[in-house]
Amino acid sequence: MSYRILIADDATINRKLIKDILSNSIGGTDFFEAENGNEVLKILSKTSIDLILLDLVMPEMDGFETLKIIKENDQYKDIPVIVNSSITEIQSIENILREGAVDYFTKPLSVDDMNIILPLKAKNALLMHEQNKLISEELKYANLFANIMLPKAGGIGNTELFIKYHPTMGIGGDFFDCVEKDDAVYFMIADVTGHGIAAGMASSMVKILFRKCVEHRDMTPDEILSETNRSIFEIFDFAGKDNFFVFTAFVGRLKGGIFEYANAGQPYPVVYHRASETIEEIRQNGFLVGVFEGLKYQTEKMTLNTGDSIFLYTDGLFCSGESSDITGWKQVVQFSEQYKGLLNKDPNEFMDQVYYGFHLINKAKQTDFTDDVAMMIIQVK
C-alpha cells in the first residue's frame, strides 16, 4: 500500500529526521514537506494526502490555525493529523485534540520515540484513514441504492408528492413510499430503529413488505400494518434474540376524496385544509411494528378536498433522543400554523422552513440533528 505523508515543520533537520524514521518503518511512501501552514494548504489543494504530521510552532501560519482550517474544510477534514511540538503543557494538548488531531508527540524525540512510538502512531493513523475511506465508499453506494428505493417526487394518481430526506450517515432507517393502485393512492412513512447501513437495509425490507401488501391485495391501512408485522415474525426468528427488527410507521390511503389512515407509533401527521386554511393533527396511536406478534391496528378516515395536504415526518426532525424533547411534535404543529400559506404556493419551501426552524432551535441549544430526518407532503389535486 502506497501512502502520501505531509511533514510540516519550519526546521529542515526536524523534517529530515521524521522522514527518515517513517521511511524505514513504512515502505512505499511518498513524502511532502512544508515550512508553514500556508505551504500545507497549497500542497493539500494539489495532492491527495493520507497523513499530516504538523508542528504547532511555525512562522506565517502556525499549527493551531492550520489544524483549525483543515478541520473546517470538507475536502480535508478527514485527513488524520498528528501534531508535534516542544510545548508539553497539558492544556495545549487538550486543545489540539479537541480541534480534531488524532494524536501527538513532543520534541525532542527519544530513542524509543524514534524506533517505536512515532512509527506506531503513524501506522495507526494511516490504518484508520484507510478504513474510513472504505466505509465512506460503502456508504456512498448504499446511499445510491437507498435513493433508488425512495419514491420520486411528482404526480402520483390524484395527488402530488413532495419529499425531503436527511440521513445522518448518508443512509438511514427513515423511509417513505407512495404508490398508485387501481383508483387509490397508498403511502407510508416509517422510522426503523438504528442508523447507517443496517437500518438502511431494514428500511428496504419495509418497502418490499409495503409494496407486497398494496400490489397484491386490496388492504386497508390497518391491515397493511398488521400484515407487515405478521410477515416480520414469519421471516425472522427472534426467539432468544435481542436484535429485534422494530419500526414506527404511518400508512394512508386516498381514494375518491376519502383519506383512510392507521398509525404505529409515528409522530402525529398534520393535515392542511385549504378551504378553511386550518391545520388539523391526526392524533392516533398504535404499537410499533415488530414488537409483538399478532398486533392489530385501527383505520380511521376523514374527507379531503382538492388542495388539501397531509404533512408527515419522522421524529428526527425534533427529537435528539433526550426525554425532554419527545413532545417536540407540538412545535411541528406551531411551525405548520406559521408557514401554512406555503403549502398552497410551494410545499418544498414549507418543508425547508420547518427544517430550518428546528435548526435554529438546535443552534440555540448548541446541538444539531442527531437522527435521520424524513418529511413528505401528499397534496390532493
What CATH number has the domain bearing residue 262? 3.60.40.10
Res 324 pLDDT > 50: no
At 170, is the secondary structure helix, strand, or coil?
coil
- Mean of all residue pLDDT scores within the chain: 85
Q: Do 248 and 172 lie in a common domain?
A: yes
In tens, the pLDDT along 63-103 reads 999 999 999 998 899 999 999 887 666 667 778 888 889 98
Structural domain containing residue 260? 150-380
Same domain for 350 and 249? yes
Beta strands in 297-343 (DSSP E): 300-303, 309-313
pLDDT at 90: 62
Contact 172, 231 (CB under 8 A): no
Rounded distance between C-alpha atoms, residue 140 and residue 150, angstroms: 16
Do 108 and 257 fall within a single domain? no
264, part of any domain: yes
Axis crossing angle, helix 118-149 with helix 196-216, rounded to the nearest 10? 10
Annotate 262-288 with DSSP letters as a single string: EEEBPPPPEEEETTTTEEEE-----PP
- pLDDT value of position 239: 43
pLDDT at 306: 95
Tell me: do 48 and 17 sit in the same domain.
Answer: yes
Distances (CA, A) of 7 to 17, 21, 176: 10, 12, 48
The tens digit of pLDDT for each residue in 290-311 reads 888 899 999 999 999 999 999 9
pLDDT, tens digit, 9 for 90 and up, residues 163-176:
998 876 555 568 88
Q: The pTM is what?
A: 0.64
pLDDT over 70 for what percent of the chain? 85
CATH of the domain at 82: 3.40.50.2300
- Residue 360 sits in the same domain as residue 248: yes
| Whether the Cβ atoms of residue 152 and residue 178 lie closer than 8 Å to each other | no
Structural contact between residues 188 and 264, judged by C-beta atoms closer than 8 angstroms:
no
Q: 373, 375, 369, 372: which is closest to 349 by C-alpha?
A: 375
Residue 198 and residue 126 share a domain:
no
**In Å, how far are 109, 127, 151 from 117, measured between CA atoms?**
10, 15, 52
Angle at 264 between CA 145 and CA 313, to 5 degrees: 55
Domain boundary among 82, 112, 139: 139
Same domain flag for 327 and 183: yes
Give the DSSP letter of residue 325. Answer: G
Same domain, 119 and 157: no
What pLDDT, on a 0 to 100 scale, did the predictor assign at position 237?
63
Q: Domain tally for the chain?
A: 2
Q: Is the pLDDT of residue 200 over 50?
A: yes
pLDDT at position 95, please? 82
